[in-house]
Amino acid sequence: MRRKRVAVLISGRGSNMAALIEAAKNKEYPAEIALVISNRPDAGGLPVAHSAGIATEIVDHTKFGKERAGFERAVQALLEKYRIDLVCLAGFMRQLTADFLEKWQLRMLNIHPALLPAFKGLDTHKRVLEARAKIHGATVHFVVPEIDSGPIIIQGAIAVRPNDSQEMLAIRVLKVEHRIYPLALKLVAEGRVRVENGRCLIDGVPVPDDTKESVGEQ
Ligand code: GRF
């Protein structure tokens, strides 16, 4: 099967992007990272992608003022130019419009540092601690216009320890992210994920026998 061509959209350091690049180095992996786009010229992930030999492009949102459609047209033009099949948002800090997302329905993934639908939005580690939650984690989901709300592909969990700080949680959750994002992209690229009534089925079932794959258990 032809490997799917993937674009990763970033705004920052790009450690999830790096995890996807690493996974895709394996020729057996069903996707190749064909392009990295950043909306910020100074994103730390850009030199990382460049030194891995991956095409990088900058679409600086500040150049488009408040006009989201113009920014999205520029992104879309690049996705078409590079013949992209799937898009992975990885720390990409721009909200995308419903018009744009329609073109990428079930072909755009995002990683969120919490167990959705709990703790949508920013500062998840801080809010998890404030809520005295016992379990925390990360979620890979398909992107829909409502933020952090699309069908859940994979989740991975960690226990919150009594003396955890935000930073400590961030480190452990990030490890989970780096494990489940390549796994989720693999499943999607292999065409093994289908959405039924808002729920992702993997190989036709909510949780396949191999629970390691479906829930990202360690
Ligand atoms: C990650 O925690 C991701 O879940 C969130 O933003 C952070 C990006 O980190 N959406 P990185 O740029 O991938 O290192």
Nearest atom within ligand 1 for CA of residue 177: 4
Active site residue 136: no
Please, how many CA atoms are within 13 Å of residue 156, restricted to the half-sphere of its CB? 23
Q: Is the CB of 156 under 6 A from ligand 1?
A: no
Distance, in Å, from the CA atom of 208 to the CA atom of 201, rounded to the nearest integer, reads 9
Nearest atom within ligand 1 for CA of residue 45: 12
For atom 6 of ligand 1, the residue with the nearest CA is 91
User: Which of 143, 174, 179 for mutating ligand 1's site (highest number of atoms within 8 Å of CB)?
Assistant: 174
What is residue 204's DSSP assignment? T
* Per-residue model confidence (pLDDT) at position 213: 55
Q: How far is CA 145 from CA 76, 140, 142, 202, in A?
A: 16, 15, 10, 23
Averages of pLDDT over each 10 residues, the chain, 218 residues? 96 98 98 98 98 98 92 98 98 97 98 98 98 98 97 98 97 98 98 97 84 52
Question: pTM of the predicted model, to two decimals?
Answer: 0.95
Domains of the chain: 1-104 (3.40.50.170), 110-218 (3.40.50.170)
CA of 18 to the centre of ligand 1 (A): 11
